[in-house]
């Protein structure tokens, strides 16, 4: 399990309580970015050399890759936890640069913006996971020995079927599950075919 959340200090205890409600106390890894999904998608940091920048999306996906490939975390689910009254949305949203109003229209707009960013990131994560599967499937087909082939197949299995869920928390700690369109969420279950290669006949 991997949790992506915002850095807002007001909701630290509520975030822990939310994960506890899923019986996940001390059973998940966590990465924190200002703005959660919006931060990952929209922001970057200056490079150490002073030239160029490091996209936060690359940083997040590298965290995921390290967790699965290096640390061997059995990540089967990723939670994207957004929250209302997020300062990052006021400053860094592509089209909205002011606090959301407390009326129904303002609250609906805020929710829609969180859905847009969270669903966009979920789609990007699924695409990345599928790319990692495909690389490993092809590597297994091209492998010269059983041990290498098995390693590649195990890596492909580790990246297969990772489920992504999106949530929106209010300032009282109440959480709403943001349901993606079925067509988008359903893509996660597809397993790439193992391509025939020079060692395909070996077991």
Any idea what DSSP says for residue 10?
G
**Does the CA dihedral 174-179-185-189 come out positive or negative?**
positive
**How big is the CA angle at 133 (ends 127 and 135), to the nearest 5 degrees?**
105
pLDDT at 49: 65
By mean pLDDT, which of 37-46, 50-59, 94-103, 158-167 is the weakest?
50-59
Burial of 38 per CB tally in 10 Å (0-12, 13-18, 19+): buried
Residue 74, pLDDT > 90, answer: yes
Residue 194, pLDDT > 80, answer: no
Average pLDDT over residues 19-24: 97
pLDDT at 50: 67
Residue 83, pLDDT > 70, answer: yes
Residue 147, pLDDT > 50, answer: yes
Distance CA 60, CA 100 (A): 27
Q: 2 Cβ partners below 8 Å, 6+ apart?
A: 28, 29, 30, 31, 64, 67, 73, 75, 77, 78, 79
By mean pLDDT, which of 3-7, 146-150, 154-158, 182-186 is the weakest?
182-186
Radius of gyration (Cα) for the chain, nearest Å? Answer: 19
pLDDT at 186: 60
Domains and CATH numbers, the chain: 2-189 (3.40.1050)
pLDDT at 104: 97
Distance CA 50, CA 123 (A): 31
For the chain, the average pLDDT equals 91
Average pLDDT over residues 110-130: 98
Q: Indicate whether this model's pTM tops 0.85.
A: yes
Residue 41, pLDDT > 50, answer: yes
Q: What is the pLDDT of residues 42-60, one digit of tens each?
A: 999 987 766 778 999 999 9
pLDDT at 198: 38
Residue 88, pLDDT > 90, answer: yes
Helices then strands, each counted (H, E), the chain:
7, 7
């Amino acid at each position: 399990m991997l949790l992506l959340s915002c850095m807002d200090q007001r909701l630290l205890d509520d975030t822990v309580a939310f994960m506890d409600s899923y019986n996940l106390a001390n059973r998940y890894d966590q990465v924190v970015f200002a703005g959660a999904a919006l931060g990952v998608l929209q922001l970057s940091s200056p490079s150490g050399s002073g030239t160029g920048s490091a996209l936060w999306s690359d940083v997040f996906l590298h965290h995921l890759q390290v967790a699965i490939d290096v640390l061997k975390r059995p990540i089967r689910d990723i939670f994207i936890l957004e929250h209302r009254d997020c300062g990052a949305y006021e400053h860094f949203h592509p089209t909205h640069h002011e606090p959301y109003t407390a009326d129904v229209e303002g609250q609906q707009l805020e929710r829609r913006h969180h859905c847009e960013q969270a669903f966009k990131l979920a789609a990007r994560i699924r695409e990345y996971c599928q790319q990692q599967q495909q690389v490993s499937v092809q590597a297994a087909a091209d492998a010269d020995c059983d041990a290498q082939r098995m390693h590649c197949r195990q890596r492909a299995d580790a990246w297969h079927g990772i489920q992504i869920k999106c949530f929106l928390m209010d300032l009282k700690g109440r959480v709403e599950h943001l349901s993606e369109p079925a067509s988008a969420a359903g893509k996660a279950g597809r397993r790439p075919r193992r391509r025939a290669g020079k060692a395909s006949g070996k077991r």
